[in-house]
Structure 1
């Protein structure tokens, strides 16, 4: 029986956590697009947040740009790091149409990349909410221009953005803690994941 560490000391099975790594050209294309997105969005933020350009719409667009940056970069990091630093550990994926590898993750890696993946999902969710909020703001401004001028300002926009951020980050933090609780380490540092119930307690 393999010795395991963490919250699953009595498990005698290890469901190996694996990550599909696409072909090199896909990895570098994705990472290049993510870097380009980060650069462009940073420029957009710097322009929109200049004092003379600050409006509820530009504040929302700036928050959306920042959220897009924080979606793209963490999402690509596991693939880039795996290809650059763990190439010798990759196993060829024989069933992929465009090639690629399967990476049997180590425990020391998966407990880092799982939160990164969840962070990316969280900021993507924030981007969705901000996009919806931006459209609602435009519709309200067109239908009720006077009310919008009196009641929708920069401070209220920032407050709503912060509220969205707090809610989504809280949910993602809870999901990450829960997911990490299902991971455990075998003696060879393999990253394993278990079910909510131990096999010994299932019929």
Structure 2
């Protein structure tokens, strides 16, 4: 592939090293009104947007999450630190999972750890997940490099003027297949978990 395409991949791989998350200590310990919640999320998650005009969360989204039982209702129109942690989980899940699957996945968390006085609370759950995800970045980078190298060896017999596009297409197909397989696994695990929960 051309040097431009290689540069793009290297830039993307380097950006993975800069992936960060909202640290629990960055979340206000005071309850927030809706406008404050949307402003906070917009500020903290701005770097995750694909396009500048994209919205991280809107009032309508948050109201729908509460209506669909993904998010516990606010207290006197105010949202706690735990509400914000749940909203962060929803934000990352919503591009991959259905509303129903997110509710199935989050309900045990909100039932058990939402606004509990125990030492092991929703912040502890969130911190552990973030730690696990950060620890995987280098292995994800290596997997992407391997797929890239395999794709760059494909379509050797294709017309030379089409090879760059076809190799890029192969690479995107490989990444998409990974996402498809992992999404399928996630859905099957959620379905299995839901069945066991319903059997109790």
TM-score tier (shorter): 0.3 to 0.5
Give the strand-richer structure, 1 or 2. Answer: 1
Return the structure number with greater relative CO, CA threshold 8 A, min gap 6: 1
The TM-score, its normalising length taken from structure 2, stands at 0.33
Structure showing greater radius of gyration is: 1
